Amino acid sequence: MLTAYDYPSGKQAEQAGLDIILVGDSLGMTVLGYDSTVQVTLDDMKHHGKAVRRGANDTFMVVDMPFGAAGVDEKIDMQHAVELYRETKANALKIEGAHTAPLIKKCTQNGIPVVAHLGLTPQSFGITGYKLQAASKEEAETLIEEAKLVEQSGAVMLVLEAIPSDLAATISRNLSIPVIGIGAGADTDGQVLVYHDVLNYGVDRKPKFVKRYGDFTTGVDALKAYHEEVKAGVFPSPEFTYKKQIMDEVDA
Ligand code: KIV
Ligand code: NA
């Protein structure tokens, strides 16, 4: 699983053959320049989800329910879920936290597949910070129970973020739904990373669990070269200029 946020990244993820695309609310940071996912709105998720879908029509696409749109008031949450699912043509919605179990159930009953997200849930960073979760015996036991709860509530998949790898392995074994890890070690059923992290594209921070497979910082060199060539009169050369001449025919 890889995140994508717009038409070209969706298209690239599909061309690369990724199994699942996540339109993550991490788009708040990666493409909108906010410093957390808390700023991201339902409209933002709709806008980006629709763009990704246009680039990746044949890939299973999960769209995040943003902060404040789920787990607050069940009736309104449900309206948000219906809108987001319908308008983006997502295959599933992802919802953070075990407290949303009733909403997971309601969505499932109404035909919306839900991916649960436990461990570090970035929408709650104000409470948890950005650090390894479930690092104590009590928290680990709670997480094991929460994972069972979201599965029982109908979740079709579970994302586990920033937890000890042996705990992630146990939860993956315990559950029958696929478990996708990020910062959760090698023993989950799948992995997810953020597009901009994988490609080193406009990100300053590299969390421990991120591996860079490409380097888009070379894009800056390309932009500099363009700027220099225009200033030096090198671009556009004849190769990039239409051959048609008109001024012989024009009275000027
Ligand atoms: O928003 C996101 O990118 C995510 C993944 C990191 C799991 O939720
Ligand atoms: Na997210």
What pLDDT, on the 0 to 100 scale, is given for residue 83?
Answer: 98
Residue 14 has pLDDT above 90, yes or no: yes
pLDDT of residue 205: 87
What is the best residue among 20, 23, 38, 94 to mutate for testing ligand 1's pocket, by most ligand atoms within 8 Å of CB? Answer: 94
Q: Does some domain include residue 224?
A: no
pLDDT tens readout for residues 200-216: 999 988 999 999 999 99
Residue 34 lies in a domain: yes
Q: Which residue has the tokens 């012989």?
A: 248
Report which protein residue has its CA nearest ligand 1's atom 5. Answer: 24
How large is the average pLDDT for residues 56-82?
96
Q: Has 228 been annotated as catalytic?
A: no
Cα distance between residue 182 and residue 94, in whole Å: 14
Q: Is the ipTM of this complex over 0.95?
A: yes
Pocket of ligand 1 (CB under 6 A): 3, 22, 24-26, 64, 159, 161, 182, 192, 194
Q: Which one-letter amino acid corresponds to residue 172? A: S
Taking the centre of ligand 1 as the mean of its atom positions, its distance from the CA of residue 153, in whole angstroms, is 21
191 within some domain: yes
Residue whose C-alpha is closest to residue 85's, from 119, 108, 116: 108
Instruction: Name residues whose C-beta falls within 8 Å of residue 133's C-beta, 6 or more positions apart in sequence.
Output: 119, 120, 139, 143, 161, 162, 163
Residues in the annotated binding site for 3-methyl-2-oxobutanoate: 25-26, 64, 94
Q: What is the CATH number of the domain that holds 183?
A: 3.20.20.60
144 occurs within a structural domain: yes
Q: Which two tokens stand for residue 162?
A: 């920033």
Q: What percent of the chain has pLDDT over 70?
A: 100
CA of 252 to the centre of ligand 1 (A): 61
Closest CA relative to residue 66, chosen from 101, 117, 105: 117
Spacing, Cα 127 to ligand 1 middle (Å): 18
Cβ atoms 121, 128 nearer than 8 A: yes
Q: Are 95 and 115 in contact (CB under 8 A)?
A: yes
Residue 109: pLDDT above 90?
Answer: yes
Compute the distance between CA of residue 79 and CA of residue 70 in angstroms, rounded to an integer.
Answer: 10
End-to-end CA distance of the chain: 61
In this prediction, residue 171 carries a pLDDT of 98
Q: Quick check: 70 pLDDT over 90?
A: yes
pLDDT of the residue at 29: 96
Residue 247 belongs to some domain of the structure:
no
- Count of CB atoms within 10 A of residue 23's CB? 31
Asked if 206 and 197 touch (Cβ cutoff 8 Å), the reply is yes
In a domain, 246, yes or no: no
Range of the domain at 163: 2-216
Q: Which residues contact 137 (CB under 8 A, 6 or more apart)?
A: none
Q: Which residue has the tokens 């717009």?
A: 6
CA distance 1 to 152: 23
137 domain residue, yes or no: yes
Give the span between the Cα atoms of 178 and 182, in whole angstroms: 13
Give the pLDDT of residue 186.
98
Count of domains observed in the chain: 1
According to the model, what pLDDT value does residue 204 have?
A: 86
> Is there a domain that residue 198 lies in?
yes
